[in-house]
Structure 1
Amino acid sequence: MSPTRAAGLVIFRNVNQVVQFLMLQTSYGENHWTPPKGHVDPGESDWVTALRETQEEAGLSEHEMEIYKDISKTLNYEVNGKPKTVVYWLAKLKNPDHKVYLSEEHQDLKWLPLQQAQEIAGYSDMKMLLQEFHEKAQKLI
């Protein structure tokens, strides 16, 4: 069985030399917290999906972020017993005060420093991804 594919962006901003990650709370299921991401549509690349989903879920376009195409990580896990693969790229919000607009898929958002983002992320693979991206983001602020 081939895995379901999804893609997204781990977006951070620089506030007083502190890296803060954008976390969105889903309005469905367990109301988990995650960076913007979504399923890859047929014929769509992971990259196009990441940009489209970020626009749909957070109202952020490619032009409002500096996206680091060379900094990515792929997570592989199971959802309801089925394999899922999600690729994330690191992105910096150019204007840290830029407003985020949630879609109906999400009910809340938070900009959080690493430890708090890891706490609400819940899953160990997401916690490790945030740690890895935090180390890279600190060099980019």
Structure 2
Amino acid sequence: MTEMEKTLEITDILKSQNLILDSIISAQVKIREAVKVKDWKVLQDNIELIQKKSAVFVALDKQREFLSSSLSPEELKSQIPAVTQIRGKLIKSKIENNTLGNYVNSVRGFIRGVLDTVVPQRRNTLYSRKGNIIHPSPESVVVNKLF
């Protein structure tokens, strides 16, 4: 494979990765909305979509790294704008993940606090072997209302 063919293939890979990241970010937004409205079917579908797209992205990235390892830095300079755009989208995806994680953790903490107040356990605080605090899961609670 000539250097020109490798450069063109790397360009195609970067375009594909760019499109994959667009669909991943779109699915992440749908996941956040699904969690807020408690639509678990949409949540599960989008998680599966992200897993599939991520696997394809990783495979393309390995192929791109393999091809670019044999090219000189001067030949790769034309790829810098596309790589920069992909890195920006990866950062945006990471921020979206962190936002969802923070939301879930704050809601989990709130619900744990409410359950500890309403249905106190015998021992609210347990410690692991390493000294970490472990919150026990509540015993069975039946709520007679749809939230």
TM over 0.5: no
Q: Flag the structure with more relative contact order, 1 or 2, with Cα contacts below 8 A and sequence separation at least 6.
A: 1
TM-score range relative to shorter protein: under 0.3
Name which one, 1 or 2, has greater alpha-carbon Rg: 2
Q: What TM-score do you get using the length of structure 1 for normalisation?
A: 0.25
Name the structure where strand makes up a greater proportion of residues. Answer: 1
Q: What TM-score do you get using the length of structure 2 for normalisation?
A: 0.24
Name the structure where helix makes up a greater proportion of residues. Answer: 2
